[in-house]
Amino acid sequence: MGRHAGISLLSAQRRQLQRFMTETKDKREYRAAIGVLSRADGKPAIEVARRFGVTIKQVFTWTRKFRAEGVGGLHVKKQTGRPSTKADLAKPKIEKLVDEDPQAFGYLKGRWVLRDIAKEMKKEGIEMNHTTVLRILRDLDIKLKSPKLRAPGSIKKNYHKRAEIRRYKKIAPALLKKKFSSDSKTKNGLNFSQRLKDAGRKKDKFVISKRSDTPNE
């Protein structure tokens, strides 16, 4: 079991990890401790990584540090000795933000994306692009949820719909010009040129009728 789990724990070590989980106030430290316990219980690294939204490499790092240093290896080291950067200021805000529902902030998506996180940081007075947001998320061992893939049928349907719209936009000016030309020639439901022809025929008929009524001399 120890080989399959990647790490085997003594009863004292389990109690140490459980006590560490109750005492820590850092979500990353809590996640690391429960990750080590999960590995000791026989959970595959890939399953643990998916559960906590981290990479498999990070899971191996947790177990390696605990094996070498105990719970001390799971502590998140505080950075000192240099002034705070935008990333330092944004990290706690982003970590708290991704736990919230994006729709509560006015976004229609049901998941956070890099662009929306950057917008929220800008509201906090921290300017950053999506690349910086991605780097911060990786530092925090946070993995955003991937969007669900659409069914192939819906993709094909949307593709044809977009193609129809593009074709209509190309011919719409010509259709509008044709309609305007037709409307300008039509009055009271009758075609103007047709009425001219009808008037001509009526005039010819009147002339013929007038000639037939004239008495022969």
- SS3 for 191? strand
Cα–Cα dist 141/30, whole Å: 12
Cα–Cα dist 52/34, whole Å: 10
Examine residue 99 and state whether it is found in any structural domain, yes or no: yes
Residue 179 confidence (pLDDT): 57
Domain carrying residue 94: 86-139
Examine residue 146 and state whether it is found in any structural domain, yes or no: no
Please state the rounded mean pLDDT for residues 84-104: 85
> CA 79, 83, 89, 95: dihedral to nearest 10 degrees?
-10
- Backbone φ, ψ for residue 113 (5° rounding): -125, 160
Q: Is the pTM of this model over 0.85?
A: no
The residue with greater pLDDT, 57 or 156, is 57
Locate tokens 């390696």: which residue?
64
Residue 58 sits in the same domain as residue 107: no
Whether residue 138 is predicted with pLDDT greater than 80 in this model: the reply is yes
Residue 117 sits in the same domain as residue 53: no
Locate tokens 């993709």: which residue?
155
Residue 57 sits in the same domain as residue 10: yes
Q: Is residue 47 very low, low, confident or very high in pLDDT (cuts 50, 70, 90)?
A: very high
> Half-sphere exposure of residue 32, counting CA atoms within 13 Å on the CB side?
26
Residue 68 sits in the same domain as residue 20: yes
Cα–Cα dist 66/8, whole Å: 11
Locate tokens 């593709």: which residue?
159
Cα–Cα dist 67/65, whole Å: 5
Q: Which of 2-16, 105-119, 126-140, 176-190 has the lowest mean pLDDT?
A: 176-190
Q: How far is CA 14 from the centre of its chain?
A: 40
Residue 81 confidence (pLDDT): 55
The tokens for 110 are 């049901």
Residue 3 confidence (pLDDT): 42
The residue with greater pLDDT, 61 or 202, is 61
Examine residue 207 and state whether it is found in any structural domain, yes or no: yes
Q: What is the pLDDT of residues 111-122, one digit of tens each?
A: 899 999 999 998
Whether residue 65 is predicted with pLDDT greater than 50 in this model: the reply is yes
Whether residue 205 is predicted with pLDDT greater than 60 in this model: the reply is no
Pure H helices in the chain: 2-5, 11-23, 27-40, 45-52, 56-69, 86-97, 114-123, 130-139, 152-184, 192-213
Please state the rounded mean pLDDT for residues 130-157: 72
Residue 9 sits in the same domain as residue 43: yes
Whether residue 191 is predicted with pLDDT greater than 80 in this model: the reply is no
Please give the single-letter amino acid code of residue 125.
Answer: G
Q: Is residue 148 very low, low, confident or very high in pLDDT (cuts 50, 70, 90)?
A: low
Examine residue 14 and state whether it is found in any structural domain, yes or no: yes
Examine residue 79 and state whether it is found in any structural domain, yes or no: no
Cα–Cα dist 96/156, whole Å: 39
Q: Per the structure, how many domains does the chain have? A: 4
The residue with greater pLDDT, 39 or 173, is 39
Examine residue 164 and state whether it is found in any structural domain, yes or no: yes
Nearest to 191 by CA among 202, 201, 183: 183
Q: Which of 75-79, 102-106, 111-115, 184-188 has the lowest mean pLDDT?
A: 184-188
CB atoms within 10 A of CB 7: 17
